[in-house]
Structure 1
Amino acid sequence: MKKFDFPLEKILKLRRFQQEQAEIELGKALQEEQAIQNKLDLIARQHAAAAANIKGSLDFEVISSAQQFFRLLEIQKEALLNDLAEAKLVSEQKRRVLQEKMKKTASLEKLGEEEYEKYRQESFREEEAVVDDIINSHFGRKN
């Protein structure tokens, strides 16, 4: 009985490797997105804390400093929102690449499974033929 040999096995391994690389790239892009979101969350907490600190204050300098701080936070927030939009575009592009790699890998895997099933059926037929030959030769000699 010969061993199963899928002729496109090397290509399948390459496709799996490329899929793994695409998964890693998507993971990095999603991490970048999350890092930006974390910075935005920090800005929101800083804004809330500063607002709570000046609540009820009548000191002009405190209020003026807080307003400048709020403007700074707003500028940072706008920059981060732009960065987040770009990061989401990158993530979406990486996601599309991964989906394409997954489709290519899946199609080759399916082809490999079909080839293996053909191999298995052929092996079964060969084994049946050998068993039939043995039985026929064994019973043929006794008669």
Structure 2
Amino acid sequence: MKRFRFGLQRVLELREYAEREAEIELGKAVGALTLIEQHIAAVAEDRLHAAAERFAPGNGLAEMQNYDRYILRLDQTRDKLLMDAAKAELVVAEKRDIFLEASRERKVLDKIKDKRKGEYRKFAQAEENKELDDIAARMTRN
């Protein structure tokens, strides 16, 4: 019995490659979004500490004004990071759609391959059964 050979194997391999590449790009996009979210958390923590230190005993008016300016800068940084996060979420959504499409395309070919493999096995089994029947018939004639 000859081995099963899927005629679209090269196409399937290309689609698997495209799916892997899309998955890598999605991972990069999620990583970038996670990094931005970490920066937002760090800025929030810095702002919390600065707000607590602003009115600490022993701080003069100049130090309080410095803390106010620092807090203002942290707020501006947070706002910029939030805008960056929104853009990064759009990129993640786009990359996720690309990955899902590549995955669907690969799964279609996988299903076709499985179906054809099943058909091949049925055909090969039928051929083998015919051959065994012929051998058995010849042996009973002799």
| TM-score when normalising by structure 2 | 0.96
- Identity among equivalent positions (%) equals 29
Post-superposition CA distance 1:68-119 (Å, at most 9, x none): 0011001111111111000000000000000000000000000000000000
- How far off is 1:56 after superposition? 4.3
**What per-residue deviation string (whole Å, max 9, x for no partner) do you get for residues 102-138 of structure 1?**
0000000000000000000001001100110111100
Two-structure CA RMSD over aligned residues (Å) = 1.0
Residue 53 of structure 1 corresponds to 53
Separation in structure 1 between the aligned mates of residue 53 and residue 127 of structure 2, nearest angstrom: 85
Q: What corresponds to 2:109 in structure 1?
A: 108
Separation (CA, whole Å) in 2 of partners of 1:79 and 1:44: 13
Could you say which residue in structure 1 is the equivalent of 2:128?
A: 127
The equivalent residue for 1:87 is 88
| 1:1-49 residue CA offsets vs partner (Å, 9 max, x unmatched) | 1211101000000000000000000000000001100110110110111
List runs of 5+ in structure 1 lacking aligned partners. Answer: none
> Which amino acid in 2 is paired with 1:131?
L
The residue aligned with 2:44 is 44
Q: Name the counterpart of 1:138.
A: 139
Distance 1:43 1:19 in 2: 36
Q: Which amino acid in the other structure matches residue 44 of structure 1?
A: A
Deviation at 1:59, TM superposition (A): 2.1
Runs of 4+ in 1 over 6 A off after TM superposition: none
Partners of 1:50 and 1:108 lie apart in 2 by: 58
